[in-house]
Amino acid sequence: MAVKELQRQINPKYKVSGSLAFFLICSIQIGVGVLGFQTSIVERVGNDSWIPVLLAGLMIHFLIWMIYKILKFGNGDLITIHYDVFGRWIGGLFSFVWIIYFWTIGVIVLRTYLQVIQVWMFQEINIIVVTLIFSLLLYYLITGGFRVVVGVCFLGTVIPSYLIFSLFYTMDYTNFKRLLPVWNHSTTDILLATQEMTFSFIGFTVLLMYYPYLKKANKTKLWGHGGNFLTLCLYIIIMVFSLAYYTKGHLLRQKWPTLTMWKSIELPFVERFEYIGISSWALIILPNICLAFWAASRGARQLFRFSQRKALIIMLSLNLLANYLIKTQKEIETINKLLSQFAFYLFLIYIPFLFIFSYLRLGRRKQHD
């Protein structure tokens, strides 16, 4: 793979405004995790569960800062940086791992959402048929270009934002004294709970792939951090309301606490508000899946030097197969847990590792130039 064969510069007509980094970051971080992230954290630290959420968000801010530095040192996206820092074979191996990682995010987000639909709305739903419909939609959107994907991210953030106000309908059933006393669990438990929270934030790493598509990309840091800050605020608000709404024992028995809270909402024009919430969530998870498959197919195009369209067809076909093979709730939870653990160590070890090596190999060279 010669350097000249790697696409480093993007035609300006395909680029998007740097301010849209705000929606690109928060749209992929807000997904199916919002529906049930509380249980595993509360199991470890009870009423202190908002603290791991805060720590996880702050950690992601630091990692976003690192990613912007890595991309500034390099010239292009993650694939080109791997090539420049580690060479053809080792860099290609690292890139392949990241491609699989992005693809897995898309698969598990879609499969988890379909499981929610199956449990809460339509028990006899045909997973293969719905996956095929989603795959056709994803193919249409992603082949439309990155600007179309960004449009989906914008709409997927703005349109369903009304759902946050639904939490205030639960105020009559909340007791905020349940959050006291503060920090009555060990530091070790809080750090372990922070690791559990990582899964809800994992999508931000797609920044490593779409960075070259941002106009004046190096000046978009504030927008990127702003997107993560919005996500952090949302997760803290949901966690605080969940702790005030449920007792600890009741919360631990819930697989999707956010959905259960919606059941208490009574409106004159709708009897089951959770149905509206689940239906609206399709627009929220669509940017998750779009960005994940776009990043994976874009990476495959860079690494294996064939068209992104062909790479996307292969990945969507494998997605169909994966959704067919993953059948039970236990299997979904196991894959979610494994992906969360892998992502945590990828963030904690690999991004700092790449930051150091990219500085030594690329950053210092730029300083001398």
> Whole-angstrom Cα distance, residue 248 to residue 251?
5
Give the per-residue pLDDT at 363. 66
Tell me the CA distances in angstroms from 9 to 162, 210, 292, 312, one per residue in order: 38, 12, 21, 21
pLDDT in tens, 123-160: 888 999 999 999 999 999 999 999 999 999 999 989 88
CA atoms within 13 A on the CB side of 248: 13
Tell me the CA distances in angstroms from 18 to 69, 147, 217, 245, one per residue in order: 16, 12, 6, 39
Q: Which residues of the chain have pLDDT under 50?
A: 1-4
Is the pTM for the entire model greater than 0.85? yes
pLDDT in tens, 181-230: 888 888 899 998 888 888 788 889 999 999 999 999 889 999 999 999 99
Give the per-residue pLDDT at 2. 39
**Structural domains of the chain ordered from first start:** 21-352 (1.20.1740.10)
Long-range contacts formed by 321-329: CB under 8 A, 24+ apart: 322/107, 322/111, 323/107, 323/110, 323/111, 323/114, 323/127, 323/128, 323/131, 324/127, 324/128, 324/131, 326/111, 329/115, 329/119, 329/255
Nearest residue to 150 (alpha-carbon basis) of 24, 295, 19, 297: 24
Mean pLDDT across the chain: 88
